[in-house]
Amino acid sequence: MEVLMSIVAGVLFTAAVYLMLSKSLLRIIIGTGLLSHGAHLLILTMGGLKKGAAPLLGEHAQSYVDPLPQALILTAIVISFGVTSFFLVLAYRSYQELGTDDMDQLRGNDQHE
């Protein structure tokens, strides 16, 4: 199972990097979204999969899955959400101000370094 999930995470990383290398600002942000999905999946996989019940003591199970990676991922999800929404609004504002979302045009010029 871990092998399959590692491959899925690898596919997510590949797609994310490919999108981040493109010209459009929106695609770059979509790429960062995919990258954080891949990273979260990777953390979960590395903690080991399906080793027991959900981490709720009320279950009275023999064994539970590792709760620590889940806590870490929860933190990461919230932080990446905050950063993504900030970037989105930033992108939206730069459309408004600069009238373009093409990264090749968003460069400093000689007067502006």
Partner 1 sequence: MTLLHLAILSPFLAAILVPFLYKLFRKVHTGWFVLVLPILLFIYFSQFVNRTMEGQPVISIANWIPSLGINFTVYIDGLGLLFALLITGIGALVILYSIYYLSKNKEQLHTFYVYLLLFMGAMLGVVLSDNIIVLYTFWEFTSLSSFLLIGYWYKREKSRNGAQKSMLITIFGGLLMLGGFIMLYIMTNSFSIREIIGQVPEMSQHDLFISALVLILFGAFTKSAQFPFYIWLPDAMEAPTPVSAYLHSATMVKAGIYLVARFSPVFSGTPEWFWIVSAFGIFTMFWGSFNAAKQTDLKGILAFSTVSQLGMIMSMLGVGSAAIALDSLDDNIFIVATLAAIFHLINHATFKGSLFMVVGIIDHETGTRDIRKLGGLMSLMPITFTISIIGAFSMAGLPPFNGFLSKEMFFTSMIRVLEMDVFNVETIGLLFPIFAWVGSIFTFIYSMILVFKTFTGKYQPEKLEKKPHEAPIGMLISPMILASLVIIFFFFPNILAYTIIEPAMASILPSLLADGGHFHVHISGWHGPTPELYMTIGVVLLGVLGYLTLTKWRSVYRIVPKKLTLNKGYDRALYCLDKSSLGITKFYMTGFIRDYLVYIFTFFIVILGTALIIKQGFSFSLEGTAPVGIYETVLAAVMIIGTITVLFSKSRLTAIIALGSVGYTLSLFFVLFRAPDLALTQLCVETVSVALFLLCFYHLPEFKKKEKKLRFRMTNLIISLGVGTIVTLIALSANSQRVTETIASYFIENSYKLAGGKNMVNVILVDFRGFDTLFEITVLGIASLGIYGMIRVNVKREEEG
Residue 49 interacts with partner 1 (CB under 8 A): yes or no: yes
Binding mask 56-95 for partner 1 (x = CB under 8 A): xxx-----xxxxx-xx-xxx-xxx-xxxxxx-xxxxxx-x
Closest distance to partner 1 from the beta carbon of 94 (Å)? 10
Residue 53: C-alpha distances to residues 40, 57, 62, 74, 78 (Å)? 20, 9, 8, 18, 24
Please tell me the count of residues contacting partner 1 according to CB under 8 A.
86
Where in 4-43 is the site for partner 1 (CB under 8 A)?
4-24, 26-27, 29-30, 33-34, 37-38, 40-42
Tokens at residue 15, please?
């797609």
Min. distance of Cβ 111 from partner 1 in angstroms? 13
Measured CA distances, 50 to 11, 54, 76 (Å): 22, 9, 21
Q: Which two tokens stand for residue 14?
A: 């590949």
Which residue number, 104 or 111, has a Cβ lying nearer to partner 1? 104
| Cβ atoms of 39 and 25 closer than 8 Å | no
Nearest CB to partner 1, comparing residues 88 and 111: 88
One-letter amino acid for residue 65 of the chain: V
Nearer to partner 1, 56 or 111 (CB): 56
